[in-house]
Each structure stands twice: as structure tokens, then as C-alpha cells.
Amino acid sequence: MIIFSSSAREFREKVDSNLLTVTIEEAFVRKMGMHPSQGEIRAWNNSMQFMERVIRNSNIADDCGILIEYNIPATSKRVDFIVTGHDEAGNKNFIIVELKQWDSAKATDREDVVLACVGGREREMPHPSYQAWSYRQHLEDMNEAVHSNQLRSYSCAYLHNYRSPQPDPLQSEQYQPIIQKAPLFRSEDTLKLQDFIHKHTGKGNGINLLYLIENGKIRPSKKLIEHIDGLFKGSTEFTLLDEQKIAYESIISAAKDVTEKKTVIVKGGPGTGKSVISMNALGGLLKKKLNVKFVAPNASFRSAMVETLVDRQAKHKVRVRNLFSGSGQFYNSPADFFDVLIVDEAHRLKGKGAYMYQGVNQIEDIIKSSKVNVFFIDDFQRIRPDDIGTVEEIKRIAELNSSDVLEYALSAQFRCSGAEGFLNWIDHIFQIRETGNFNGWDQDAFQFMLMDSPLSVYDQIKRKVDEGYKARMLAGYAWNWTDAKDGNPNGEVEDVDIPEHQFKMPWNGRALSTWAIDERGVEQIGCVHTSQGLEFDYVGVIIGNDLQYDPDTKQIYADYDAYKDKMGKRGLKNDNERLTKLIKNIYKVLISRGMKGCYLYCRDPELQKYLEVQWRRIMVVHESQE
């Protein structure tokens, strides 16, 4: 969607007559259905004056095209400014210009990340050149008009208020690779920007290119398909086995005819391979040139999937990341805009009132905006009262939208070394549900140990990391989490404090989105929100005082006051049964993250005693089987 488009001549005339900002604001309300913020209006008033002078003095043809506030399809991102036209050789070109009003910035030690004062406070932001280049890469990958009409793309950043200090932090050595891809123009570089625009678009005839860009279908380019296919080849992490293959082929088959609306539900507990299938489905559907997106409510899970696919090659991250999305952005998507939406961890989908979500029901958003939608779900992994993702709810909404439902179930266990008996035992001892087979499992294949202190848990995890295994500490949300503004942006405060054992560790850092796979992660404790959907070789789990055991009633129950997740217990002060159910689900999620082993400690003495008795019983069973 384009908020404003015109010829270069009309753009200059609108600025001269002081009508440009009014025109953009009116178009914004008409097309976006809401009013722009005062900050956006100020930015238009300021930045467009500078861009008008650049366009005028670049001496490009009057019939070059100008796009302002181009809303990239299938995203919430908007490109500030695009110029279209032909060059001396007759090539059809467009230039993305990322505009910033910054007057200062600081370098960081993080790749393509800078510190800038935005909204009255210092914030981590993408380097402007990275932002411009990433938008360009997305259009090259997903806008069919660009890759089928041989449009050539360029990108740059223009910081018209920024006068470079010496040395210039934005020009630091670590940013040079991205600046090579998208030049950085500062206040003193205005003449260079004019030359850059004239070189690539100066010969004009760009109006028709505006139409091509705005109306291009959203389909993956051949280059993107080949790139993603190459990432999957040879990766044992994404190899399909048995019923996983059946589910995958069923999804591919369902998407063969995207003229018929279909809803595919794939049910499976922890470790049944839901994420393996969903990732393979993403690759398989892209190869069929379908407009597909991978949806995951959990941001940490999305980050880890991208990192796993690209193996930390920064130059490829943006191409892969653009295929992933959170679950809250589809509330205003056009009907059937996507060919396929793949939703992993669908049990975490939200309803009205959830944090930052502006819609009513994310399941309905997803089904309405896609021709084929695939939900990977486990009804026993809902962990908050606003988690509305259930098989029943998906079926209900699919019926309302005349979407045929196809349902598949996964049962084979690929986590916990295939120890289905272990997960059944966890269901049994935590009183989650009645199960049959919990009479032991192969202790050599999957190691479970009940530890006498959190220090012992940490020692085991640290030893496993030193041996080369992927291992992490995890805990329930039974400790407060100090806010970033109070000096805890990246795990500086040791919030998880168990004084009776002289144990302290910080929660995972907010800035460390890849905590699960970053080597620094072993010194921080993850919670369910940063580990759900992921897996490790070994996990050390601390059960806090939010889950306790009553020896008189022989029941496990939740302690409302000890549970610190405000959103997780909202509205449940007088509903302990439901709160207990959700907290039990949390701990099962944490305990089931391990592929080879789990070390567990309970802070509540009565719960620790109860589990010790259960553990001795299972050890007796194990010994009798040897």
C-alpha cells in the first residue's frame, strides 16, 4: 500500500505550496483507517523539506516517480521514501531512502545495531543503512513485480540533521559492510545523495514503475527459494521421520489448490516434532512459489529458528527473518491475502485485550487472511489465561469461515531420547492428567535426577556445557523480573534469589533474544516465554514457591502470591484450580525441553519430599527391569 505517490514535479509543487503534509495525512487516514501520530506529522514536515531540495537539485526528470510511506505488503513496516526512474543505460530502477532526524548516535558492539535518542530516551536501533537495505531485500525477495520485471533496486539512508563528529560512530568499522550495501548520507553529504539519485533514476519515465511496485503480487523469488532450499539441505535438525513425513505431505497436498479454503490442525505433545514439520512445510511451500509466512507467537522461538537456519550468517538473516512473523499483526490483513500461514505453538494465540494486540481473536485473524492455514498445537501447553489456542476453538472459527478442517495427530516421541514413559510419568506425578505407561524408561538414554539444591542443578548444567552439550538453566516465574529502566536491560540483576542455598542468578537478558543459543546464556536463567518450542540436550529446572504440595490433601496447588507473572495470573486470584493447571503446564514445558536429560530442584520442601518418594518408586521399577 502506498500512502502518497506522484511525479517528481508534483512532489516539488506540493512542497512549494505547503500542501504535502496535509495531503499525506489525509491519505494516511483514508488508507490506514487511523490518524498518524504527531511524531509522524512532525517528521513529514521536517524531512520532506529536505527531500524536496534533494529532488529539485538532483535535476532528475519531472516524470520520475515518488512514493512516500510505502507499506510493505504482509508487514507493518513502512518505507519512508522511494524514487523510481531509468538510468543512462535504460535500466528500470528504484531507490529506497530511509530518512532519520537523528542529530547524534553511538556505536555498539552488536552487529548493525546503534544507540540513538528516540522519543526522549536512548534506544537500541538498527543502523539506518541496515534498515534501508533490509526493506530493499524484502521487496526483491517477495514482490513479484520486482523480480519478474527486472526492476533494479538500490537503497540508502539520509540523516539530514546529523553532522558527523570525528570519529563518526555511524561510520565505525563494524558498520562498513552494511554501508557498502546501502550508502549512508549525512548532512554534509547532501550533494553526494543528489548525485546518487540522479545516477540511478535521472532519466525519468518512472510513473509506471510506481504501479508495478504497488500492485506486484507477493510471491517468493527464485533466488529466495534456492537460498531457503539450500539452508534445509543436509541439515539433520530438519529431517522428517515416519508420521512427521505423513503430516508434512498432507500439508503440501492441502496447499495444492489454494482456491479452496482449508484449515489443517496438527496435534502433538512436547517432542513429537511439530516444529520440524512446520519448518519443512515453510521450505516446501516456498518452493511452490506460494505466498507463505511462518507465524510464531513466541519472539524468542522465532529468533532461535532464524539463527538455526542461517547459522549466524548475518548477511542472510534478514531474508529469512522476513518469512517469520508474530501472531498479532493479521487483524487488519485483507481476506485471503496469504496463500498459506503456518502457525507453530498455536496454543499461545491470543484473544482480545492481550498485550499490544489490537484485534479480537488471533485464530480468526489468521484463518480470514489466508487461503490455507496450518496450526501446530498442544492443548496442554497453554500457560496464560489469555492463551485461547485450542483445537476446539480453531474448529469453531474454521466452520464460521467456511474452511474445511483436516486434522492429524502426532504421537511418536523424539525428545527426551524418545522416553515417552518419562513424559507420562511427569503427567502422573504432577497430577496433570491420568496416563497409562509411566513404569520407567531407559535411564541410560534419558537421565533424570532430582537434586538437593539449585547449586547442584547449576553444577550439572555447567559441566554439560563444558563437555560440549547444549544445556540451559530454566525456572518458573516465581521471582520478580527487574525492569530494564531500573538497571536490568540484559541480565545485570540477579533476580532469581534462593537465600537458603546462597544461590543467585539473573533472568535471561532482554537484549539477548538468542539467549537459547548464545554462549553467554548458560549464566542466565530462562523462563517459559524464552524456551517454549525450543530444545536443549540437558535442562536444569528450578521449581519455585509458585507450585507447592499439601501433604494432608495430597494435592499440588498454585500459590497466587508466589507466582510473579502478572499477565499469567490476571483474573485468577479466586480461581486456584485454573491457575494451578496453567502453572503445571509451565513446568511440564520446562522439564520437557531436554533431549538427553533433566535435573530438577523444588524450592517448596513438601513438594521436594513428595517428588523424592515418587522418584524412589520409579527407581525401584527401573532396578527391577535390569
Closest to 322 (Cα-Cα) out of 128, 510, 69, 136: 136
* Stretch (H or E) spanning 540: strand 536-543
Residue bearing cell 537484549: 511
Supply the pLDDT for residue 360: 93
Angle at 131 between CA 126 and CA 132, to 5 degrees: 155
Residue 615 has pLDDT above 90, yes or no: no
What per-residue confidence (pLDDT) applies to 312? Answer: 46
Pairing of strands 92-100, 152-159: parallel
Indicate yes or no: pTM above 0.85. no
Q: Distance of alpha carbon 393 from its chain centroid, rounded?
A: 23
Share of the chain above pLDDT 70, in %: 91
* Domain match, 385 and 507 both: no
Q: What is the pLDDT of residue 440?
A: 63
Question: Does pLDDT of 322 surpass 50?
Answer: yes
CATH code, 484: 3.40.50
What integer is the mean pLDDT of 199-205? 96
pLDDT of 418: 53
Neighbouring C-alpha atoms within 13 Å toward the C-beta of 190: 16
619 three-class SS: helix
- The C-alpha atoms of residue 9 and residue 66 are separated, in whole angstroms, by 9
Which pLDDT score is estimated for 476? 96
Is residue 424 over pLDDT 90?
no
Q: Among 391, 409, 427, where does a domain finish?
A: 409
Instruction: State whether 393 and 428 are in the same domain.
Output: no
pLDDT at 375 over 80: yes
Q: For residue range 7-58, what is the model confidence (pLDDT) as tens digits?
A: 999 999 999 999 999 998 898 888 777 788 888 888 898 899 999 999 999 9
Within 8 A by CB and 6+ apart from 319, the residues are 137, 141, 224, 227
Provide, rounded to the nearest whole percent, the portion of the chain with pLDDT above 90. Answer: 53
Residue for cell digits 548532512?
187
Position 559 pLDDT exceeds 70: yes
> Rounded to an integer, what distance in angstroms lies between the CA atom of residue 529 and that of residue 360?
22
Same-domain check for residues 264 and 394: yes
User: Looking at the structure, do residues 254 and 342 belong to the same domain, yes or no?
Assistant: yes
Is residue 525 a contact partner of residue 508, using CB atoms and an 8 Å limit?
yes
How far does CA 28 lie from the centroid of its chain? 27
Residues 184, 233 share a domain: no
Locate all alpha helices (DSSP H) within 436-547, ordered by sequence.
454-466, 528-531
Instruction: Give the confidence band of 624 by pLDDT, cuts at 50, 70, 90.
Output: low
Structural domain span for residue 227: 222-409
Residues 464, 564 share a domain: yes
What's the pLDDT score for residue 563?
96
Is the pLDDT at 80 greater than 90, yes or no? yes
Give DSSP secondary structure letters for 568-605: TSTT-TT-HHHHHHHHHHHHHHHHTTEEEEEEEEESSH
Give me the residues paired with residue 68 across strands. Answer: 4, 81
Domain check: are 372 and 491 in the same one? no
Contact in structure between 83 and 224 (CB atoms under 8 Å): no
Q: Label residue 238 by pLDDT band (50, 70, 90).
A: low
Q: What are phi and psi of 7, to 5 degrees?
A: -80, 165
Considering the domain architecture, whether residues 584 and 602 belong to the same structural domain is answered as yes
Q: Is the pLDDT of residue 478 over 60?
A: yes
Indicate which CATH number applies to the domain containing 242.
3.40.50.300
Q: Which of 180, 195, 215 is the last residue of a domain?
A: 215
**pLDDT (tens digit per residue) in 149-183:** 889 999 999 999 999 999 999 999 999 999 999 99
SS3 441: coil
Please tell me the total count of domains within the chain.
3
Residues 450 and 594 placed together within one structural domain of the fold: yes
Nearest Cα to Cα of residue 564 among 493, 465, 624, 478: 478
Instruction: Write down the H helix ranges in 36-189.
Output: 38-57, 128-142, 144-148, 176-181
Residues 67, 142 share a domain = yes
- Give yes or no: residues 460 and 528 share one domain: yes
Average pLDDT over the chain, rounded to whole?
Answer: 87
Torsion, Cα 426 429 432 434, to 10 degrees, reads 100
Q: 264 and 401, same structural domain?
A: yes
Final residue belonging to a domain, choices 215, 247, 269 = 215
Q: Which helix (H) or strand (E) holds 423?
A: helix 420-429
